[in-house]
Structure 1
Amino acid sequence: MSDAQSTRAALARHDKKGVKTATANINAPRWGNALFIAPYMVFFITLLVFPMIWNIWLSLHRADAFSMGRFIGIGNYVRLLNDGVFLKAVWNTFYFVFLSVPPLALVGLFLALALNRQTKTAAALRTLYFSSSVLSVTIVTLIWRIVFIGQFGLLATIYGWFDATPPAFLSDPDLVMIGIAIATVWWCIGLPMMLYLSALQQIPKEIYEAAALDNAGRWRTLRYITLPSIKRTVILVVIIQIVMQFQLFGQARLMTNGGPNNESLPMVLYIYQMAFTRWDIGLGAAASEVLFVMILIAAMAQFMVSRKKGDN
Structure 2
Amino acid sequence: MARTRTVFRCMSCGAGAPKWSGRCSSCGDWNTLSEELETPDAGLEPLAASSPPTPITQLTAADGAPVPTGIAELDRVLGGGFVPGSVTLLGGEPGVGKSTLVLQALAARARAGARVLYVTGEESADQVRLRAERIDALDDNLLLAAETAMGNVAVHLEAVRPELVVVDSVQTLFDARFSSAPGSVTQVRECAHRLVQIAKATGTSVLLVGHVTKDGQLSGPRVLEHVVDTVLSLDGDRHHDLRILRAVKHRFGSTDEIGMFSVHGDGLASMADPSSLLLGDRTPGLPGSVVVPALEGQRPLLVEVQSLVAGSSLAQPRRSAQGL
Q: TM-score, normalised by structure 2?
A: 0.22
Higher RCO structure, 1 or 2 (CA under 8 Å, sep 6+): 1
Which has more radius of gyration? 1
Higher helix proportion (structure 1 or 2): 1
Q: TM-score, normalised by structure 1?
A: 0.22
